[in-house]
Amino acid sequence: MKEIGEALREQRENIGITIEEAALDLKLKESQIEAIESGDKEAFPDVFYLKYFIRDYSKYLGLNYEDMIDEFNEFLFDYTSKISIEDIKKARKQVKNTSEEKRVASPYTIEHRRKYNIPKWIIYIFVGILVLGVFFIVVQKISDAGSNHAGENIIK
């Protein structure tokens, strides 16, 4: 990360732009520009914002922003790959031990549970009987209507 910041600082100084000008043009705080140039990842609450700041700052300075993003991705991979397997196992155990109520779930991962545990085949049979009942009622109405019209013709 320090190498990225140094490259950005050197390019800014070569062009003759001050931190204040860069911050004003990029609509960033001067402290954010200084943090990027010093390689202070901790000054940013989210690495994704930092990544986009580096991209925009690189474009602004006329550097190849894709190379800078690639270098940042490599830094991020190196930084995150230093987590030991034992720490990952401990974190997994902690997650398993937490109660379901405390667990924050994404709407995409929520398991929806039915209130009544009725087997699907019973529901299918009920729907089938309901459809047959409606069918017989309709047939009965049609036959009653047909017989009433036939009786009217005989009376007249």
In this structure, are residues 18 and 4 in contact, taking their beta carbons and an 8 Å threshold?
no
> What would the pLDDT profile of 137-152 be if each residue is shown by its tens digit?
999 998 888 776 655 5
Residues ≥6 apart with Cβ < 8 Å to 76? 47, 51
> What would the pLDDT profile of 79-137 be if each residue is shown by its tens digit?
666 667 777 778 777 776 665 445 555 666 666 666 777 888 999 999 999 999 999 99
pLDDT of residue 43: 81
Tokens linked to 13: 């100084």
Tokens linked to 34: 């200084």
Assessment of whether the complete model's pTM goes beyond 0.75: no
Closest CA to 57 of 22, 15, 16: 22
In this structure, are residues 28 and 53 in contact, taking their beta carbons and an 8 Å threshold?
yes
